[in-house]
Structure formats: structure tokens, C-alpha cells
Amino acid sequence: MCANWQWLGKTIIFTFLSKLVAAKKKKILILTDRAELLLQAGGSLKKVGLNAFYIQAGCKSVSNAFNVYIAMSQTLRRRIDSEYWIKFLFNIDLFIVDEAHKQEFNYLFESGLLNGKHVIGFTATCKRSGKMRQLALDYEEIIESISIQDLIEQGYLVNDDYFGPSCPNLDGVEIDRMKGDYKENQMFQRFNNPKLYAGVVKNYNEIAPNTKALVFCVNIEHCIKTAIEFNSHGISAKFIVSNVSKPKLPSDINDAGKMARYEERKRIFDLYQHYHSLHSGDRESVFNGHKNGKFQVLINAGIATTGYDDPTIETIILNRATASTTLLLQMLGRGSRPSPGKTHFNILDFGGNCERLGYYSENRLWSLWHEATEGDGLPPIKECGYDSEGTPILTNGKKGCRRLILASYKICPFCGFKYPDKNISEIDLASIMFDSSQKKAVKVKKIKDMSFEELHDYQKVKGHKQAWLWRQLWYKGREKAIEEFGNKYGWKKATKMKAVAFCQNF
């Protein structure tokens, strides 16, 4: 069974489920793929009086005195060939899989060890794509929760203001069929441009200044350069990425292709080393610093999609493109949690993702089956150092070797020729309103430029709470704007006073 609870406290739900099962003297194993999720699950269990045994790096045996076990997926994977661990799994009565849409847990189903067992998978995005294993091979049915729009109306999630779509041209960027998403190196080539870095900061300052923001980038280099850009404009920002190891010098230093790739990896390593102490740090301290408001903007590449829960985040910046609905909703989910005084969250979409995959509050149909698409034939190729008309492309006066290479390559693997960056126009996001009643997106003025009448209409169609309107009026003209708007629309004096107090305390 795959349970699709959209941000309605998956951890809380399977915590109470574990308590009920443990009360019957049954054994439960909760599987997760992230250290943050493991600690989060353990903390939640303690709150209901359950002590869990942790199976993580270094664990060689388990205690039979426990009813609840929490295992890191990769830790268990390295042990399931052992007779001891097979026996342990045989004695488990209920398996709970957190983030069940991920392929991380495929090995357990493929091993046959879960045959005949009770398995419940939890995910907010019950979907896979491309050549990923079909969820229907592992789960018999989906139990769906209420829609995002219903959760917003009931106060479990906050509404959004969406800004887009102004993004790099993605034509020709290939899909990795195993991952179900754009190929990282090709996507980075489209986003790695000075005007795009500047555009992210410019739009943040115009649309969501001084808000706590979480930025999703393409890769390590993209994160670092984005952090540099924010800090250069006086906005405190840190990046968090996977560790970067120092590359080894090729044994054959006369091989131009190998040396070019080595120099490229060495360049990224040096970039990481230089800026790690300036704009990053160890993962826990960076996460805690952002939660505690020590800096405004946290930048990451695939680290904070799951397991990072900070309800005070007000702005999500999608500084990348994705072909995965699952990943899109995970990224947006980081900003959707309610917190005291929070009226909404902003989505700054530099990848045209919502236009392509659907807007935040759209109803979606979920299925255990997905279309297993095949590849798109032969990948596009090009002549190293020459354009489609046979004209040489000069980089610092150097020509390419004219060998056929993949069109996505920015560095020739044979001669090391480096392609120059393409010219990209300045980015300026537009306000897009998704009208849930009409089920369509409409381009509107930027919220900061709306008149009183336009703000009133936008709030009504969008379904924002009144506190959202108070806040926008405060941005436009503080007490004076609230007074003028209140007089125009017949607010009582008490309402105007409440609006001012709310904004002053925010």
C-alpha cells in the first residue's frame, strides 16, 4: 500500500501507526534514506513514548528488546546478504517506507525479502517516470489524501504567490531516462551565465526582499556562484552541497582530453575549497543557522528537497529546471508549511517549471503505474569547434579538432577545446495567478504594482486570507495605505487597527 499524504505530517501519521502496532507486541521497521529523516522520525517516536533502535553506519547487530527499528537504507543494503540480517527482517511484522517514490528502496523489493510482508510506503508525490521501476510492482493500492487546495483552505498549508516564467531555453536538453529528469551537465550550461545569476538576485530584491529564502540550483558550481552573487549584493547567503573530493592527476598527462577533464574537476574543487569557509560550513550548522535567522538565503542542489523542515521559509527560488513533478512538489513543499504570522509563500520560478508541470495548488491524478518511455534515439552530435554551417568557433584564438562529439559537451574529450558561453538576455519574472476555480493560469501585474482595486480582486480570486492583504498594503504605504484601503472598502476602525498591529508585529 502506498499512502499519498501531501505534506500532512507523514512522520506524525506513521509515528502513531507504529505506536498502535507496537502495542500489539509486533515489530516495525521504518526505512529512510537521509540522516535528517532518521533523526526526525526518532524524535517523533519519543514524543509518543516509543524508543527506537537505530540501524546506521557501524551497527553490527540489533537488540530484541525493541519493537520499533529505524534503518538507513544504504546501511541495511550492505547487510541483507548476511544470514543474521535476513533472520532479523523475517521477524519484522510491518515495514514503513518513508519517501516511497524514491528508487532507493528498490533493492528490498527485488530481493524477495518483503514477499508476504505488510509494507506501507509514505510519500507526498506518488509518481515515478521514465525507466524507473513501476510502483505497482511493489504496492497494491494508493490511499490518497485531500487536495492541496483543501489543505490550504483548512489552514494546514499556506497559499502561494507565483512569479515566472522567464527561463533559459531548454530546447535540446536531454532527459536522463533512468532518473526521469534533465541531464545535469546540459542543464547547467543553460543556467551558468552572469546575467542569470544577477537576475535571480534582482528579482528576489524586487519581489520578496528580506524574506527567508530557500534556493534550488543545478549543481555544486551553480550553488557556489549563486551564493557569491547574493553576498556581493549585501544579502547574507550560504550554500550547502555534497562534499567535493580532490581529483587525482591522470597517469597520462599528455592525453589532452583527460587533462581537460582533470583541470575542470580541479577548478570546481578549488572553487569549493575557497568559498566553503566564506559561504558554507558543516551541514548541521548551516541548516541551524538558516532556521535561526542568522542568514537569509540558503542555497542547495538536491540536499534540502526532503528532511529539511523550516515553516518560517517564505520564498522558494527554483533556479533550475526539472522534468519531475515529484521533485517540483518536494521543492515547493519546503515553503508551504504554515507558521505564526505567515500569510503565504513566494515562488520565484526561473526554470518555467510550474508552467510545464502544473501549478502548486492544481489537483493531480496519482497512479502506481507510469508510462515507461524509451530513449529518444541517437543523441545529438556536433563537430568539435565548429558551428552547424562549418564556421570555426574561436575560444582565445584556438580551434577545435573537428571530431564528432556529443552536442551537450562544453569541453571536447579529445582535444580539450572549451566552448564559449552563449549570450542570454536579462531575466524579469512576471506575476502568474493560477485560478483554481477556472483551472487556468493568468498573467497579472506584479503584486507590488497593483492598484487597490487590483489587489482586492487578486486576493478574492486567489483565495488569500485577509492578513495577506494587510501585508501587501503595508508594503505599499504602511498605516496610510491601510487607512485609505479600509475607508474605500468599508472596514471598521477595529479591523484597520488589527491590520496595523499585525503588520507591526510581523
Contacts by 178-181, CB closer than 8 A, 24 or more apart: 178/130, 178/131, 178/132, 179/130, 180/128, 180/129, 180/130, 180/131, 180/132, 180/323, 180/324, 181/322, 181/323, 181/324, 181/327
User: At the top level of CATH, which class does the domain 2-150 belong to?
Assistant: alpha beta
Closest-CA residue to 210 (of 238, 234, 240): 234
- Cell reading at 98: 518513508
- Phi, psi dihedral angles at 422 (to 5 degrees): -85, 155
- pLDDT in the model for residue 470: 97
pLDDT for the residue 121: 93
The one-character DSSP state at 307 is S
CA atoms of 223 and 212, how far apart (whole Å): 17
pLDDT at position 260, please?
A: 86
Amino acid of residue 365? L
* Cell numbers found for residue 406: 556529443
Print the SS3 string covering 18-45: HHHHHCCCCCEEEEECCHHHHHHHHHHH
* Residue labelled with grid coordinates 582530453: 257
- Beta strand pairing call for 160-164 and 430-435: antiparallel
Q: In which residue are the cell numbers 571530431 written?
A: 403
Tell me, what's the pLDDT at 319?
A: 97
At position 497, the amino acid (one-letter code) is M
Nearest to 231 by CA among 271, 193, 191, 200: 200
How is the chain split into domains, by residue range? 2-150, 450-505
The whole-angstrom separation of Cα 405 and Cα 414 is 9
**pLDDT score of 45:** 85
Q: What is the pLDDT of residue 364?
A: 81
Asked whether 168 and 196 are in contact (CB, 8 A), the reply is yes
pLDDT at 380: 60
What is the number of alpha carbons within 13 Å of residue 377 lying toward its C-beta? 2
Predicted pLDDT of residue 376: 44
> Any idea of the CA torsion for 424, 427, 433, 436, to the nearest 10 degrees?
40
Query: What pLDDT does 38 receive?
Result: 66
Q: Which residue type is seen at 25?
A: K
CA trace torsion 9, 12, 16, 19 (10° rounding): 150
Please return the burial class of 184, using the count of CB atoms within 10 Å of its CB with bins 0-12, 13-18 and 19+: middle
Query: What is the reported pLDDT for 422?
Result: 61
- From first CA to last CA, the distance across the chain in angstroms is 43
Annotate 261-277 with DSSP letters as a single string.
HHHHHHHHHHHHHHHHH
C-alpha span between 306 and 35 (Å, rounded) = 11
Give the dihedral of Cα atoms 411, 413, 415, 416; nearest 10 deg: 30
Distance, CA of 250 to CA of 231 (rounded, Å): 36
Taking only the tens of pLDDT, the chain with its 506 residues reads: 565 544 446 778 888 889 999 999 999 999 988 776 666 776 788 888 888 999 988 899 999 999 999 999 999 999 999 999 999 999 999 999 988 888 899 999 999 999 999 999 988 778 787 778 888 899 998 887 778 888 899 998 999 999 997 788 888 889 888 788 999 999 999 999 999 999 999 999 999 999 999 999 999 999 999 999 999 999 999 999 988 999 999 888 888 888 888 999 999 999 999 999 999 999 999 999 999 999 999 999 989 987 788 999 999 999 999 998 889 999 999 999 999 999 999 999 999 999 889 999 888 878 888 776 544 444 566 889 988 677 888 777 788 898 888 776 778 888 888 887 666 666 789 899 988 777 788 899 999 999 999 999 999 999 999 999 999 999 999 999 999 999 999 999 999 999 999 999 87
Q: In terms of C-beta density within 10 A (0-12 exposed, 13-18 middle, 19 or more buried), how is residue 451 classed? A: exposed
